[in-house]
Amino acid sequence: MNRLDDQLDRLLRAAAARPETAPLSPAFGLETRVLAAWRSAERGTGWSTGVLVRGLVLASFIMGVSLWTALEQRSNSDSDYLQLADSTVQTDYP
Q: 42-88, pLDDT tens digit by residue?
A: 665 566 777 888 999 999 999 999 888 877 766 655 666 666 666 65
Which residues constitute the domain of residue 76?
55-94
Strand ranges for the chain from DSSP E:
none
Q: What local confidence, expressed as pLDDT, does residue 80 receive?
A: 64
> Above pLDDT 90, what percent of the chain?
18
Closest CA relative to residue 29, chosen from 21, 19, 18, 37: 37
pTM: 0.35
Domain count, the chain: 1
Which of 58 and 32 is assigned the larger pLDDT? 58
Q: What local confidence, expressed as pLDDT, does residue 56 receive?
A: 94
Please give the C-alpha separations between residue 54 and each of 45, 47, 48, in angstroms, as whole numbers.
15, 11, 10
Q: Is residue 82 part of a domain?
A: yes
d(CA 37, CA 30): 11
Q: Is residue 67 part of a domain?
A: yes
The gap from C-alpha 70 to its chain's centroid, in whole angstroms, comes to 25
What does residue 44 show for φ and ψ, rounded to 5 degrees? -80, 5
